[in-house]
Structure 1
Amino acid sequence: MQPTPGSRPPTSHERRAGQPWNSSYIDGPAPWDIGAPQPAVVRLAEAGGFCGPVLDVGCGTGDNALFIAARGLPVLGVDVAETALATARQSADDRGLDADFAMADALHLQRLYRRFETVLDCGLFHTFDESERTEYVTSLASVIDPGGTLYILCFNETGPHPVTEQALTAPFADDPAWHLSTVTPETLRTRFADTTPAWLATIKRRA
């Protein structure tokens, strides 16, 4: 049931880059691949923000998913980059963690035929253009339990993929499936900077 790389059109990011997401992982770590969970994700977890089962969308090499799995929650990480998923699976095996990783198109998550209590998007939302974000929000609604929680951690308007607060909230404000709880200033770590300005949005799936 999982889509293959050739079965989906390239995203706006892939068109701009002139290469598929998988290429980002071929010649060494990607800029966002810091080898550890994002500090904001750690803080969320320590505050009890994750309830299982958990979906990590755009999981990359799995650092956030593995951190959540180590806390005893069932986790599925999905991505379109085969190389990143292979690394994530190997890391799970090496650490003896029960985390699953699968190829899936974030714009068509209904193909997972599963639902989750918590969904994490760390660094994916800001790679989509406006039309993709609307499609993505609909896709997310198909896999989150009523009353479930979505966290989005993305660059703000000063980041390398700029997102204003209005651009972040608009796709959810226009969709009756969602209730936007909070949007707060945060930071994202990359391989080149420890504190790139970001947003952390907490969004609830209406019951």
Structure 2
Amino acid sequence: MSERTRQPTSHERMSGRPWDASYQDGPAPWEFGGPQPAVAQLVSEGAFGGAVLDAGCGSGDNALLIASSGVPVVGFDVAATALARAREKAAEHGVDAEFVAADALQLDELGRRFDTILDSGLFHTFDAGERSQYVVSLASVARSGATLYVLCFSDEEPGAVPHPVSQIDLHAAFAADSGWSVLSIEARRIETRVHESGAPGWLATVRRN
């Protein structure tokens, strides 16, 4: 899969740049050199089990941390530059993780199923129409009873983030008729290269019905 075989997302249309461009001149704004603290806490709690999918993995920091705990991880992204860097990091640190190119809105093409899915910073980049497609796409690769963790920007601090998400937005996207159930939504800080004390975020725990 290449960026030329899919339609640009709403974020790409607004920014006028493909996702890969964010990685070509150095680290992307949302990457700060390590895994998200919220993800690290989940790892320490043993939250990732079975086969794990990291949705929109970027250059792999979260996936590599999860894989280092002994869990099999597949990270996907549309940005070839990010995937190349993720593979380099895995080789550098001797971590066994798989990184593949995939379209988040067409995950059925992976032909695989997962027990735990992480979305760190992808959900909030989609507009309302794309979110409904994304939720269906996620369901196509989630085993029954699978757990999905969504770490996204929140609307708690107006003007602080470019794609704020409300708790209502999360409940609407993962409503009962979507095949998912929201178990909890908790406030978390999201580290970026442009927020000194982190950006306001939500960590939603969602279960595949």
- What TM-score, normalized by structure 1, do the two folds share? 0.96
Say whether residues 1:203 and 2:206 are aligned partners: yes
Distance in 2, matches of 1:143 and 1:93, equals: 27
In the TM superposition, what is the alpha-carbon distance from 1:6 to its structure 2 partner? 0.8
Distance in 1, matches of 2:43 and 2:168, equals: 26
In the TM superposition, what is the alpha-carbon distance from 1:176 to its structure 2 partner? 4.3
Contact residue 135 and residue 178 of structure 2 kept, 8 A: no
The one of 156, 170, 173 equivalent to 2:172 is 170
- Report the secondary structure of 2:165's partner residue: coil
In the TM superposition, what is the alpha-carbon distance from 1:174 to its structure 2 partner? 4.9
- What TM-score, normalized by structure 2, do the two folds share? 0.95
The one of 17, 35, 52 equivalent to 1:19 is 17
Corresponding letter in the other structure for 2:29:
P
State the partner residue of 1:102.
Answer: 100
**1:132 and 1:87, CA in 2 relative to 1: closer, same or farther beyond 3 A?**
same
Say whether residues 1:134 and 2:132 are aligned partners: yes
How many residue pairs get aligned? The number is 204
Alignment of 1:47-62 (within 5 A): 47-62=45-60
Alignment of 1:41-190 (within 5 A): 41-157=39-155, 158=157, 159-190=161-192
Distance in 1, matches of 2:109 and 2:36, equals: 28
Corresponding letter in the other structure for 2:108:
Q
Corresponding letter in the other structure for 1:95:
H
Identity of paired residues, percent?
55
Distance in 2, matches of 1:88 and 1:169, equals: 32
Query: What per-residue deviation string (whole Å, max 9, x for no partner) do you get for residues 176-203 of structure 1?
Result: 4111100111110001223211000000
Query: What per-residue deviation string (whole Å, max 9, x for no partner) do you get for residues 68-91 of structure 1?
Result: 000000000000000000000000
- Report the secondary structure of 2:20's partner residue: helix
Distance in 2, matches of 1:192 and 1:163, equals: 19
In the TM superposition, what is the alpha-carbon distance from 1:171 to its structure 2 partner? 1.4
- Report the secondary structure of 2:143's partner residue: strand
Q: Unmatched 5+ residue regions in structure 1?
A: none
Distance in 2, matches of 1:129 and 1:174, equals: 20
The structure 1 segments of at least 4 consecutive aligned residues displaced by more than 3 Å after TM superposition are: none
Corresponding letter in the other structure for 1:108:
Q
In the TM superposition, what is the alpha-carbon distance from 1:126 to its structure 2 partner? 0.5
Structure 1 window deviating more from structure 2 (133-142 vs 171-180): it is 171-180
Distance in 2, matches of 1:140 and 1:131, equals: 15
Corresponding letter in the other structure for 1:42:
A
Distance in 2, matches of 1:175 and 1:65, equals: 30
- Report the secondary structure of 1:181's partner residue: strand
Contact residue 52 and residue 114 of structure 2 kept, 8 A: yes
- Report the secondary structure of 1:175's partner residue: helix
In the TM superposition, what is the alpha-carbon distance from 1:52 to its structure 2 partner? 2.2
**Alignment RMSD (CA, Å):** 0.9
